[in-house]
Structure 1
Amino acid sequence: MSRFSLAWITASALSATAVLGAPAFAQSTGAAAAAAKPVSLETMNDLALAAAVNVCELAVEQKLAVQNAVISNAKAITYVVTTAHGGQIAGSGKLEASQIVNGSIVQIVGRVKQGCYAKITAADKKFVDEVIAQYTAQATKAQPKK
């Protein structure tokens, strides 16, 4: 039984994003990236929703593994946030690419669960469930003890 890991997913997405040149482009723009306006939470939600629709289309109609489609879409969101907004998200400040990838993965997977979960394969459901379980476990650990 293979276990999925957000760390592995992040590493995979980041290595491919580096190939696309997102961090290099953001660094080359220097002051422009630093002066970029943070992306709004509304826009981030819109990006995640559009990505989830794309994931569902690719998984259901094209039979692409959800994991592959999610990573591809998380890379796209990370590229936009890094290059156009200097890695800044409203209310969060400047984020590392790995933080944007992780957040994007969780947001996309959550919307896939709400959208096309009933139509995806058992293996894809397992991936979705494991990502959500890992995120929930991490969020629970981060909660202050009472």
Structure 2
Amino acid sequence: MNITLEQAEKAIAAAKQKAVAVDTKMNIVVDDAGANLVAFARMEDARLGSLDIAIKKAKTARFFDMNTGIIGELSQSGGSLYNIEHANNGLINFPGGVSIRNSNDEIIGAIGVSGSSVENDHAVASAGAETI
């Protein structure tokens, strides 16, 4: 099952609301279960360089079905996923990418957010994912 455009837009709206609440501007990407782009939003004056990072965070979260922050913990020197960020034409191994699950706990997509601290990125991505 894939996330619908309506659901993706709802996730983006929730993420934007959280971004405003933490006083930051974000690039927000929602991918479907196949890691294909469904929806994107760049808040006014969000950093241009963060766009590619948001895309890769969503892709990474979906490819591995876990938050990118967890991948970051596992990819440290000596970790089981050490150097994984070099796979798949570049992955992101720090917070801001979150899997999106439906009410049956099935993964239907992922959200990637970039534009602030990794703590804010994760909080904004989580707000978007949790709305589904």
| TM-score normalised by structure 2 residue count | 0.30
- Structure with the higher strand share, 1 or 2: 2
- Structure with the higher helix share, 1 or 2: 1
- Look at both structures and tell me which one has the larger radius of gyration over its CA atoms: 1
| TM-score normalised by structure 1 residue count | 0.28
